[in-house]
Homo-oligomer: A and B are copies of this chain.
Amino acid sequence: MNNHHTFRLEVRKKVNFYHMIITKEALLNYDKRYRTHLVNSLNGYKSANLLGTVDQQGQTNLAIFSSVIHMGSNPPLLGHITRPDSVSRHTLENIRETGFYTINHIHTGIIEQAHQTSARYDKNVSEFKAVGLTEAYIDQFFAPFVGEAYIKIGMEVREIIPIQTNDTLLVVGEIQMISLPQSVLLEDGKLDLEQAHTVAISGLDAYHQTDQIKRLSYAKVDKKLELL
Protein backbone atom coordinates (compact mmCIF):
# COMPACT_ATOMS: atom_id res chain seq x y z
CA MET A 1 0.00 0.00 0.00
CA ASN A 2 2.87 2.36 -0.79
CA ASN A 3 3.13 5.06 -3.42
CA HIS A 4 -0.31 6.49 -2.73
CA HIS A 5 -1.03 10.11 -2.40
CA THR A 6 -4.40 11.47 -1.51
CA PHE A 7 -6.21 14.66 -2.24
CA ARG A 8 -9.64 16.09 -1.66
CA LEU A 9 -12.01 15.47 -4.55
CA GLU A 10 -14.70 17.98 -5.31
CA VAL A 11 -17.86 16.06 -5.94
CA ARG A 12 -21.48 17.05 -6.16
CA LYS A 13 -24.03 14.66 -4.65
CA LYS A 14 -23.67 12.60 -1.54
CA VAL A 15 -20.30 10.98 -2.08
CA ASN A 16 -17.59 13.05 -0.50
CA PHE A 17 -14.34 11.28 0.20
CA TYR A 18 -10.61 11.35 -0.08
CA HIS A 19 -9.35 10.41 -3.46
CA MET A 20 -6.23 8.40 -4.09
CA ILE A 21 -4.00 7.68 -7.06
CA ILE A 22 -2.59 4.21 -7.60
CA THR A 23 0.35 4.36 -9.98
CA LYS A 24 1.31 1.51 -12.27
CA GLU A 25 4.37 0.91 -10.10
CA ALA A 26 2.27 0.63 -6.94
CA LEU A 27 -0.08 -1.75 -8.72
CA LEU A 28 2.77 -4.01 -9.82
CA ASN A 29 4.24 -3.98 -6.30
CA TYR A 30 1.07 -5.23 -4.61
CA ASP A 31 1.04 -8.88 -3.67
CA LYS A 32 -0.59 -11.07 -6.28
CA ARG A 33 -3.89 -11.69 -4.53
CA TYR A 34 -4.43 -8.00 -3.69
CA ARG A 35 -3.65 -6.95 -7.25
CA THR A 36 -5.91 -9.67 -8.66
CA HIS A 37 -8.86 -8.50 -6.54
CA LEU A 38 -8.26 -4.89 -7.53
CA VAL A 39 -7.76 -5.36 -11.27
CA ASN A 40 -10.73 -7.71 -11.43
CA SER A 41 -12.88 -4.90 -10.01
CA LEU A 42 -11.75 -2.26 -12.47
CA ASN A 43 -13.97 -2.79 -15.47
CA GLY A 44 -17.12 -2.56 -13.33
CA TYR A 45 -19.88 -5.17 -13.19
CA LYS A 46 -19.40 -8.38 -15.12
CA SER A 47 -21.75 -10.90 -16.63
CA ALA A 48 -22.22 -14.17 -14.73
CA ASN A 49 -22.49 -17.30 -16.83
CA LEU A 50 -21.91 -21.03 -16.72
CA LEU A 51 -20.40 -22.61 -19.84
CA GLY A 52 -21.39 -26.20 -20.45
CA THR A 53 -19.43 -28.57 -22.70
CA VAL A 54 -18.98 -32.29 -23.34
CA ASP A 55 -16.06 -34.12 -24.94
CA GLN A 56 -16.30 -36.83 -27.62
CA GLN A 57 -16.24 -39.50 -24.87
CA GLY A 58 -19.31 -37.98 -23.21
CA GLN A 59 -17.48 -36.42 -20.25
CA THR A 60 -19.31 -33.20 -19.38
CA ASN A 61 -17.83 -30.03 -17.94
CA LEU A 62 -19.25 -26.88 -16.42
CA ALA A 63 -17.30 -23.70 -15.65
CA ILE A 64 -18.12 -20.18 -14.45
CA PHE A 65 -17.10 -17.24 -16.66
CA SER A 66 -17.42 -13.53 -15.92
CA SER A 67 -15.99 -12.43 -19.28
CA VAL A 68 -18.82 -13.26 -21.69
CA ILE A 69 -19.47 -10.21 -23.87
CA HIS A 70 -21.67 -9.18 -26.75
CA MET A 71 -19.67 -9.09 -29.99
CA GLY A 72 -22.34 -8.33 -32.58
CA SER A 73 -25.98 -8.97 -33.43
CA ASN A 74 -25.81 -10.04 -37.10
CA PRO A 75 -24.37 -12.62 -37.11
CA PRO A 76 -25.36 -13.02 -33.44
CA LEU A 77 -22.04 -13.44 -31.62
CA LEU A 78 -20.90 -13.73 -28.02
CA GLY A 79 -17.27 -13.91 -26.94
CA HIS A 80 -15.35 -14.87 -23.82
CA ILE A 81 -11.76 -14.73 -22.60
CA THR A 82 -9.98 -17.86 -21.45
CA ARG A 83 -6.49 -18.94 -20.40
CA PRO A 84 -5.02 -22.06 -21.97
CA ASP A 85 -3.69 -23.24 -18.59
CA SER A 86 -6.37 -22.27 -16.07
CA VAL A 87 -9.13 -24.15 -14.34
CA SER A 88 -11.29 -23.37 -17.36
CA ARG A 89 -8.97 -25.23 -19.78
CA HIS A 90 -11.33 -28.24 -20.02
CA THR A 91 -14.01 -25.93 -21.40
CA LEU A 92 -11.57 -24.70 -24.05
CA GLU A 93 -10.44 -28.22 -24.92
CA ASN A 94 -14.03 -29.39 -25.34
CA ILE A 95 -14.92 -26.38 -27.50
CA ARG A 96 -11.91 -27.07 -29.73
CA GLU A 97 -12.76 -30.77 -29.90
CA THR A 98 -16.49 -30.53 -30.57
CA GLY A 99 -17.22 -26.98 -31.70
CA PHE A 100 -20.19 -26.57 -29.36
CA TYR A 101 -20.88 -25.11 -25.93
CA THR A 102 -23.72 -23.60 -23.94
CA ILE A 103 -23.96 -20.31 -22.07
CA ASN A 104 -26.33 -20.33 -19.07
CA HIS A 105 -27.18 -17.24 -17.00
CA ILE A 106 -26.41 -17.59 -13.30
CA HIS A 107 -29.44 -16.56 -11.25
CA THR A 108 -29.93 -15.87 -7.56
CA GLY A 109 -30.95 -19.48 -6.87
CA ILE A 110 -27.73 -21.12 -8.11
CA ILE A 111 -24.93 -18.77 -7.03
CA GLU A 112 -23.16 -21.19 -4.65
CA GLN A 113 -23.24 -24.06 -7.13
CA ALA A 114 -22.02 -21.80 -9.94
CA HIS A 115 -19.14 -20.44 -7.84
CA GLN A 116 -18.11 -23.94 -6.81
CA THR A 117 -17.48 -24.89 -10.47
CA SER A 118 -14.33 -22.74 -10.24
CA ALA A 119 -12.63 -25.37 -8.07
CA ARG A 120 -9.91 -27.39 -9.83
CA TYR A 121 -11.81 -30.59 -10.49
CA ASP A 122 -10.09 -33.31 -12.56
CA LYS A 123 -11.06 -33.76 -16.17
CA ASN A 124 -12.90 -37.00 -15.30
CA VAL A 125 -15.13 -35.23 -12.79
CA SER A 126 -18.25 -33.53 -14.12
CA GLU A 127 -18.83 -30.23 -12.34
CA PHE A 128 -22.55 -30.73 -13.00
CA LYS A 129 -22.54 -33.67 -10.59
CA ALA A 130 -19.90 -32.26 -8.25
CA VAL A 131 -21.84 -29.05 -7.54
CA GLY A 132 -25.35 -30.44 -7.95
CA LEU A 133 -26.63 -28.91 -11.17
CA THR A 134 -28.59 -30.77 -13.84
CA GLU A 135 -27.28 -31.64 -17.30
CA ALA A 136 -30.09 -30.80 -19.69
CA TYR A 137 -30.21 -31.46 -23.42
CA ILE A 138 -32.56 -29.52 -25.67
CA ASP A 139 -33.60 -30.34 -29.24
CA GLN A 140 -30.55 -32.50 -30.07
CA PHE A 141 -28.16 -29.64 -29.36
CA PHE A 142 -24.76 -31.27 -28.79
CA ALA A 143 -23.62 -29.56 -25.58
CA PRO A 144 -25.31 -29.78 -22.16
CA PHE A 145 -27.32 -26.89 -20.75
CA VAL A 146 -27.82 -26.15 -17.06
CA GLY A 147 -31.33 -27.39 -16.30
CA GLU A 148 -31.75 -24.92 -13.45
CA ALA A 149 -30.83 -21.87 -15.58
CA TYR A 150 -33.68 -19.75 -16.88
CA ILE A 151 -31.79 -18.32 -19.84
CA LYS A 152 -29.85 -20.87 -21.89
CA ILE A 153 -27.95 -20.26 -25.11
CA GLY A 154 -26.58 -22.87 -27.51
CA MET A 155 -23.32 -21.74 -29.15
CA GLU A 156 -21.10 -22.88 -32.02
CA VAL A 157 -17.49 -21.67 -32.05
CA ARG A 158 -16.44 -19.41 -34.94
CA GLU A 159 -12.98 -18.14 -34.04
CA ILE A 160 -10.39 -18.68 -31.30
CA ILE A 161 -8.10 -15.65 -31.32
CA PRO A 162 -4.77 -15.56 -29.47
CA ILE A 163 -4.00 -12.41 -27.47
CA GLN A 164 -0.23 -11.95 -27.56
CA THR A 165 0.04 -9.52 -24.65
CA ASN A 166 -0.76 -12.11 -21.99
CA ASP A 167 -1.23 -15.44 -23.77
CA THR A 168 -4.98 -15.56 -23.30
CA LEU A 169 -7.56 -16.38 -25.95
CA LEU A 170 -10.76 -14.75 -27.16
CA VAL A 171 -13.32 -17.41 -28.07
CA VAL A 172 -15.97 -16.11 -30.48
CA GLY A 173 -19.14 -18.14 -30.94
CA GLU A 174 -22.35 -17.81 -32.88
CA ILE A 175 -25.72 -18.22 -31.20
CA GLN A 176 -27.50 -21.34 -32.45
CA MET A 177 -30.55 -21.40 -30.18
CA ILE A 178 -31.98 -19.65 -27.14
CA SER A 179 -34.20 -21.14 -24.46
CA LEU A 180 -35.86 -18.68 -22.12
CA PRO A 181 -39.00 -17.92 -20.13
CA GLN A 182 -41.50 -16.30 -22.47
CA SER A 183 -42.34 -13.62 -19.92
CA VAL A 184 -38.80 -12.21 -19.75
CA LEU A 185 -38.84 -11.38 -23.48
CA LEU A 186 -40.10 -7.82 -23.73
CA GLU A 187 -42.05 -6.36 -26.64
CA ASP A 188 -39.03 -4.82 -28.34
CA GLY A 189 -36.80 -7.88 -27.99
CA LYS A 190 -34.98 -6.80 -24.86
CA LEU A 191 -34.82 -9.30 -22.00
CA ASP A 192 -36.00 -8.41 -18.49
CA LEU A 193 -32.96 -9.85 -16.72
CA GLU A 194 -34.32 -8.92 -13.30
CA GLN A 195 -37.38 -11.05 -13.85
CA ALA A 196 -35.00 -13.88 -14.79
CA HIS A 197 -33.07 -13.27 -11.53
CA THR A 198 -29.83 -13.00 -13.53
CA VAL A 199 -26.95 -11.82 -11.32
CA ALA A 200 -23.86 -9.70 -11.96
CA ILE A 201 -20.34 -10.31 -10.66
CA SER A 202 -17.81 -7.85 -9.31
CA GLY A 203 -14.20 -8.67 -8.62
CA LEU A 204 -13.46 -12.36 -8.27
CA ASP A 205 -16.17 -13.48 -5.92
CA ALA A 206 -19.00 -11.00 -5.29
CA TYR A 207 -22.50 -11.63 -6.64
CA HIS A 208 -25.07 -8.89 -7.08
CA GLN A 209 -28.73 -8.55 -7.86
CA THR A 210 -29.89 -5.45 -9.69
CA ASP A 211 -32.67 -2.89 -9.91
CA GLN A 212 -33.32 -1.13 -13.16
CA ILE A 213 -32.98 2.63 -12.75
CA LYS A 214 -34.14 3.59 -16.23
CA ARG A 215 -34.20 2.82 -19.92
CA LEU A 216 -33.19 5.66 -22.19
CA SER A 217 -34.22 6.30 -25.76
CA TYR A 218 -31.84 6.17 -28.72
CA ALA A 219 -29.48 9.14 -28.36
CA LYS A 220 -29.67 11.84 -31.04
CA VAL A 221 -27.30 14.71 -31.61
CA ASP A 222 -30.03 17.37 -31.47
CA LYS A 223 -31.25 16.31 -28.03
CA LYS A 224 -31.74 19.35 -25.84
CA LEU A 225 -29.25 19.51 -23.00
CA GLU A 226 -32.00 20.77 -20.68
CA LEU A 227 -33.55 17.33 -20.94
CA LEU A 228 -30.46 15.89 -19.32
The interface of chain A, by Cβ under 8 A from chain B, is 6, 9, 11-13, 15, 17-24, 27-28, 30, 32-49, 66-79, 81, 103, 105-106, 108-109, 111-113, 115-121, 130-132, 138-139, 148, 150-151, 153, 158-159, 161, 163-166, 168, 170, 172, 174-186, 188-191, 193-200, 202-221, 223, 225, 227-228
Contact = CB atoms under 8 A, between A and B. Distances in A.
A35 to B, nearest CB: 5
For the complex of A and B, list the 6 residue pairs with the smallest distance between their C-beta atoms, beginning with the closest.
A37-B189, A44-B47, A41-B191, A34-B189, A45-B200, A208-B210
Contacts of A76: 24, 27-28, 35, 39, 42
A121 B189 contact: no
Contacts of A69: 43, 46, 67, 69, 81
A117 to B, nearest CB: 7
A106 B209 CA distance: 18
Decide if the interface of chain A is mainly helix, strand, loop or mixed. mixed
Given A11-B150, A73-B39, A77-B165, A179 B44 contact: no
A195 to B, nearest CB: 8
A115 B220 CA distance: 10
A172 B163 contact: yes
Given A188-B34, A207-B212, A209-B211, A39 B131 contact: no
A124 to B, nearest CB: 13
A167 to B, nearest CB: 9
